[in-house]
């Protein structure tokens, strides 16, 4: 496998998040909440930037989502890459291949119920 092809395949978890269809970027919690307020879709979510991390290979994000009772919630997520593994820390530490593999754990719903917000 060529180095160029390997680089194209091995995207980092951080690249995956900012290229995710639910990625909004650097917006406030209030702005994110306004985007989802009134939506009648449980587990509709968007991803946004969190506070800057001082640790190498670690980033902070938020998932803002519509809960099962249709209220809007904000959940911080710490994402780290260590020795080729991707760790999603949110009320526990989950090792996964992608954020989509653990989103249902973060939103406390069944796999397949999560709906990415699309602008």
What tens digit of pLDDT does each residue of 12-43 get? Answer: 888 989 999 999 999 999 999 999 999 999 99
Report the C-alpha gap between 100 and 16 in whole angstroms.
10
pLDDT on residue 57: 84
pLDDT on residue 85: 79
pLDDT on residue 119: 81
Residue boundaries of the structural domains of the chain: 12-116
Query: What average pLDDT score do residues 103-112 get?
Result: 92
Query: What average pLDDT score do residues 91-102 get?
Result: 80
Q: Which residue has the higher pLDDT, 12 or 112?
A: 112
- Confidence band, pLDDT 50/70/90 cuts, at residue 11: low
pLDDT on residue 2: 42
Nearest to 34 by CA among 7, 62, 59, 66: 66
CATH architecture of the domain with residue range 12-116: 2-Layer Sandwich (3.30)
């Amino acid at each position: 496998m060529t180095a160029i092809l390997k680089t194209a395949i091995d995207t980092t978890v951080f690249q995956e998040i900012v290229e995710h269809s639910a990625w909004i970027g650097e917006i406030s919690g209030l702005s994110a909440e306004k985007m989802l307020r009134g939506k009648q879709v449980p587990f509709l979510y968007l991803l946004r930037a969190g506070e800057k991390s001082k640790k190498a290979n670690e980033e902070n994000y938020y998932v803002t989502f519509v809960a099962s009772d249709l209220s809007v919630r904000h959940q911080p997520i710490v994402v780290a890459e260590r020795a080729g593994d991707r760790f999603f820390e949110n009320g526990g530490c989950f090792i996964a291949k992608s954020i989509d593999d653990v989103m249902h754990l973060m939103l406390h719903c069944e796999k397949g119920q999560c709906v990415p917000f699309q602008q």
